[in-house]
Amino acid sequence: MIGPGTFVFRSTIRAGFYVTAVVLAWRGLPSAAARETVVTAGPVSPPAAKPPTSGFWLVLVRDNTRWVLRDTLGEGDAPNRDKIVVETFDVRNLGAARVGRLRWTHVAGKEENALDQCGFGCPKRVAVTASGLYFLDEDASDAQILDAIKRPPDRSQPPRPYRATKRNQGRYLRFDGQRLCMGEEPLPGAGDCEDTCVAEVCISGRDGVVQLSGTWAPGFSIFAQPGYE
């Protein structure tokens, strides 16, 4: 039989537990019950950025792609004229970028030679992030590429048009939402040009490199994919 004394004894124990919990809480210490639910949480790192899956510049890092631009001003039948072949290779993901190389070849009859006269108009190695396009040195290491993509891109995503100025040495970019053309041209007031003084490369977000002309092209001609003459 449970007597009054037993009841008081048990009530006293419960009260003792309650007072202990209050004291521990006042001191900033968890009670036994609270300690069972305490979870130690460390700093939460933001998810690592991944290479983009959409954007205008991704066409330049599409693996194993080949574009053929034919001389539109040369003599003879079009299939037999000089051509420029652009090929992508060594494409891979690196950090937040899609990185790849482009090979530019001038084909004249049976002769094939690397096209080296067009500077930034014929990029040899590029990286593409969600921010835009980066021109890379051909021998850049992975560490150098990862460092390079921390800065603002050389060409933004989406592409932002800009006009030729003295400050940018006559460089421009024109974009109509489908095709982008960038190049170099004389500034207003520069006077007549004795020879070809313009250079331009055009890129389609769907069809890749579609045109190369002016001083960047062999014979200062216009090389283009069909439909982009």
Q: What is the pLDDT of residues 46-61, one digit of tens each?
A: 678 899 999 999 999 9
Which segments of the chain does DSSP mark as H helices, in order? 4-26, 32-35, 142-148
Residues 29, 139 share a domain: no
Cβ pair 218, 82 in contact under 8 A? yes
What count of other Cβ atoms lies within 10 Å of the Cβ of residue 90? Answer: 13
Q: What is the pTM assigned to this prediction?
A: 0.78
Residues 27, 131 share a domain: no
Structural domains counted in the chain: 2
Residues 112, 65 share a domain: yes
Residue 61 lies in a domain: yes
Query: Residue 103's beta-bridge partner residues?
Result: 87
Band (76; pLDDT cuts 50, 70, 90): confident
Single-letter code of the amino acid located at 65: T
Residues 153, 88 share a domain: yes
Single-letter code of the amino acid located at 134: Y
What count of other Cβ atoms lies within 10 Å of the Cβ of residue 142? Answer: 11
Residue 46 lies in a domain: no
Residue 194 lies in a domain: yes
Residue 91 lies in a domain: yes
Residue 103 lies in a domain: yes
Residues 146, 210 share a domain: yes
Window from 5-14, 56-65, 131-140 with minimum mean pLDDT: 5-14
Residues 153, 72 share a domain: yes
Residues 20, 112 share a domain: no
Residues 60, 30 share a domain: no
Whole-number pLDDT of residue 119: 87
Band (38; pLDDT cuts 50, 70, 90): very low
Residue indicated by tokens 């030729």? 164
CA distances from residue 35 to 22, 25, 39 in whole angstroms, order as listed: 14, 11, 9
Q: Which two tokens stand for residue 120?
A: 């930034």
Residue 26 lies in a domain: yes
Residue 43 lies in a domain: no
Query: 62 CB contacts (<8 Å, ≥6 apart)?
Result: 88, 91, 100, 208
Q: Which two tokens stand for residue 207?
A: 């069809």
Q: Measuring CA to CA, which residue among 56, 40, 99, 68 is closest to residue 212? A: 68
- Where do the DSSP E strands lie in 77-178? 83-94, 97-108, 111-114, 125-128, 132-135, 155-156, 171-175
Range of the domain at 113: 56-224
Residues 122, 93 share a domain: yes
Residues 197, 113 share a domain: yes
CA distances from residue 207 to 114, 133, 212, 216 in whole angstroms, order as listed: 22, 17, 14, 20
Share of the chain above pLDDT 70, in %: 80
Single-letter code of the amino acid located at 144: Q
Residue 68 lies in a domain: yes
Half-sphere exposure for 94 (CA within 13 Å, toward CB): 21
Residues 90, 181 share a domain: yes
Residue indicated by tokens 């989406």? 158
Window from 55-59, 139-143, 177-181 with minimum mean pLDDT: 177-181
Residues 64, 29 share a domain: no
